[in-house]
Chains A and B, each alone.
Chain A
């Protein structure tokens, strides 16, 4: 606690303030260290990794681990690298995001403006679903999908992501729509707008900010998902996270840490990219996702 300065807010550097900067820098180094280690390890060759300090910069840059992680690294008997996983993740993420965001926007709109008796009961039930551990639901859900004939298929995993994304997305859309001026809606009603027309011509044009938040939340969430992809995607659609784990955790052969780290970076590129370009929006997504009253 001594690092926090006491007294009125200083306008100049005091000992306390210098201490504070030192502390925050140490924290920053701790947070950056794994990223740093990841990047430099991926740029070393295996001899150097075995011989040298994990924190040292590479003596000479070697880039061979990157293409190897991308297209040659082995999972079991298949040596295709992460490439198939990357495209599978895109195949899963894009439709899942579109379907879940679209559906949740309609849900939020209906809940905010067209309440009917019992609507909030089901909404509460749905919110409750956000907290149930996946483990309770995976097996029965697998049975349901099996009965529908979509288990281990692309539509199957998209449905699963839509289901599990719905509670939180519906909540943030509802909260956003409730905060819109109700007079707008009333005016549209008087002008003869019905459920669909008001949604299309009044609500959607105003939904850009919350839609961005929802899309960011879903893209990172679905891209980073492991468990659902593992269970529901099936062998042909394994997402990148599952393949990454398979590549790194192979039981035999010599571990190639540089390839592992390249693969790890490749897998986190998409969410990191989303994070770095979206910044403020990402933070808003977190704040919106944190259920407040």
Chain B
């Protein structure tokens, strides 16, 4: 009776199976099906084809949201990677107070996005914040009005996000650096390769799995960004810092436009799949194939 040999295990995994099927798969199907309807306040099965998507792509607000998510995704990912890698390299130099510095760089990661957003909102406050400090110190030319500037507000979000997330990349990279064989360092120093060159051209390529993992994890988080922006700018000024996630939530819960929300959420989902699919293919398929050979 091979089918029932593991009956206890099957029962134990039943919650996971049910949740995977109903929540993770079921909800996507549900959202997709209802994105093809003209549901407003309540979900109705009045199918209108891809009208909701068409309408979505015509929305100026959606354009802004998509543009923002690209800016945010790019600046945040690059910022986290560069600062995270740099900090990891610095901490790897056998410096004094290593654990103190590591604690300092990582503590923001323990803070919630809401807290991060609210703190930076205060620090960047145009009247009382850092701009004011600089003026008081005599740098009257200094301008830091990002939160009220339509074009720059999204970069304020990026700064707050990098502050929160760079420590995470640092930890990943540091783990990678500590895993590098001492012999590689010895041979590099015998060859007389400058240290910064070694890091950039030898060590960094060796850390590729770490970098890829970091990028994928960050990128998957980028698409979700919601509470940080809600706390920091509430999507403003105007809707200058709105994101797809905010667009979805707004249409679900305050504009009673379910069809739009479903369509936008499906687009979000597809973009996550586009980020993940190549990585998952590489990680789980190609690698296993090579491992098997």
Say yes or no: B9 contacts A110, CB within 8 Å: yes
> In this complex, what residue of B is CB-closest to A194?
B8
**Contacts A107-B12, A131-B220 given; does A116 touch B6 at CB 8 Å:** yes
Q: Which of B26, B27, B83, B200 has the most CB of A within 10 A?
A: B27
Residue B272, interface by CB 8 Å: yes
Verify A34–B120 contact, CB threshold 8 A. Answer: yes
Q: Given the known A-B contacts A122-B13, A260-B118, are A137 and B25 also in contact in the complex, defined by CB atoms under 8 Å? A: no
Q: Is the CB of A135 within 8 A of B265?
A: yes
Q: Mark B46-63, 1 if CB is under 8 A from A, else 0.
A: 000000000000000000
Residue of B nearest to A272 (CB): B110
Q: Can you report 20 A-B residue pairs in the complex whose CB atoms are below 8 A from each other?
A: A24-B95, A31-B104, A37-B123, A54-B122, A103-B15, A116-B9, A122-B20, A125-B25, A129-B23, A129-B24, A135-B265, A137-B23, A137-B28, A141-B23, A143-B30, A226-B227, A268-B115, A271-B112, A274-B110, A291-B213
Given contacts A53-B133, A132-B269, A195-B12, contact A41 B122 (CB under 8 A): yes
A134 touches B224 (CB 8 A): yes
**In the complex, chain A residues 23-48 whose Cβ is within 8 Å of any chain B Cβ:** 23-24, 27-28, 30-35, 37-38, 41
Give Cα distance in the complex from A245 to B229, angstroms: 12
* A-contact bits for B17-55, CB 8 A (1 contact / 0 none): 101111111111011000000000001000000000000
Q: How far is the CA of A260 from the CA of B231 in the complex (A)?
A: 12
Most buried by B among A3, A30, A131: A131
Closest to A29 in B: B104
Residues facing A in B222-238 (CB within 8 A) are: 223-224, 226-227, 230-231, 234
- Size of the chain A interface, CB-CB below 8 angstroms: 96
Chain B residues engaging chain A, CB cutoff 8 angstroms: 5-6, 8-10, 12-13, 15-17, 19-28, 30-31, 43, 83, 87, 89-91, 93-95, 99, 101, 103-115, 118-123, 125, 128-130, 132-133, 136-137, 163, 167-168, 171-172, 175, 189, 194-197, 199-200, 209, 213-214, 217, 220, 223-224, 226-227, 230-231, 234, 244-245, 248-249, 252-253, 258, 261-262, 264-266, 268-269, 272, 276, 283, 287
Selected contact of A126 from candidates B24, B230, B248, CB within 8 Å = B24
In contact, A31 and B16 (Cβ under 8 angstroms) = no
Is there contact, CB below 8 Å, between B122 and A31? no
B31 and A139 form a contact (CB under 8 A):
yes
What distance in Å separates the Cβ of B95 from its nearest Cβ neighbour in chain A?
7
User: Is B269 a contact partner of A133 (Cβ separation < 8 A)?
Assistant: yes
Verify A35–B107 contact, CB threshold 8 A: yes
Do A140 and B101 form a contact, CB below 8 Å, given A272-B111, A275-B107?
A: no
Indicate if the CB atoms of B113 and A31 lie closer than 8 Å.
no
Told that A7-B194, A272-B111, A282-B106 touch, could you supply 13 new A-B pairs with CB distance under 8 A? A114-B12, A126-B16, A126-B19, A135-B249, A223-B112, A224-B111, A224-B113, A261-B119, A268-B115, A274-B110, A275-B107, A286-B168, A286-B171
Assembled-state Cα–Cα distance A50/B200 (Å)? 47
**Do A8 and B16 have beta carbons less than 8 Å apart?**
no
A290 and B217 contact, CB distance less than 8 A: yes
Contact at B95–A54, with CB atoms within 8 Å? no
The 8 Å CB contact of B16, one of A144, A166, A245, A257, is A166
Task: List B contacts of A271 (CB < 8 A).
Answer: 110-112
Q: How far is the CB of A272 from chain B (nearest CB, A)?
A: 6
B172 to chain A, nearest CB (A): 6
CA distance A224 to B118 in the complex (A): 13
Q: Write the chain A residue with the least CB distance to B270.
A: A136
Q: Which residues 123-179 in A have Cβ within 8 Å of B in the complex?
A: 123, 125-126, 128-129, 131-141, 143-144, 163, 166, 170
Contact A7 B118 (CB under 8 A): no
CA distance A226 to B123 in the complex (A): 22
Tally of contacts, chain A with chain B, CB under 8 A: 270
Q: Confirm or deny: A59 has a beta carbon within 8 angstroms of a beta carbon on chain B.
A: no
Chain A, residue nearest B28 (CB): A136
A241-290 interface (Cβ within 8 A of B)? 241, 244-245, 248-249, 257, 260-261, 264, 267-268, 271-272, 274-276, 279, 282-283, 286-287, 290
Whether A28 pairs with B272 at a CB distance below 8 angstroms is no
Rounded to whole Å, the gap between the CB of A256 and the closest CB of chain B is: 12
* Cβ contact within 8 Å between A4 and B112: no
| Closest beta carbon of chain A to B292's beta carbon, Å | 14
Residues from chain B with a CB closer than 8 A to the CB of A114 are 6, 8-9, 12
Inter-chain CA distance A283–B109, complex, in Å, is 11
Q: How far is the CA of A116 from the CA of B15 in the complex (A)?
A: 15
B189–A28 touching, CB < 8 Å: no
Question: Are B105 and A28 in contact (CB-based, < 8 A)?
Answer: yes
B133 touches A264 (CB 8 A): no
B163 contacts which chain A residues (CB < 8 A)?
Answer: 30-31, 34
Of A4, A35, A279, the most chain B CB neighbours within 10 A belong to A4
Any chain B CB within 8 A of the CB of A55?
yes
Q: Check B87 against A27 for contact (C-beta < 8 Å).
A: yes
Asked whether A140 lies within 8 Å of B27 as measured between CB atoms, the reply is yes
Complex partner residue of B122 from A249, A260, A292, CB under 8 angstroms: A260
B269 to chain A: which residues have CB within 8 Å? 132-133, 136
CB distance from B80 to the nearest CB of A (A): 13
Q: Contact at A54–B113, with CB atoms within 8 Å?
A: no
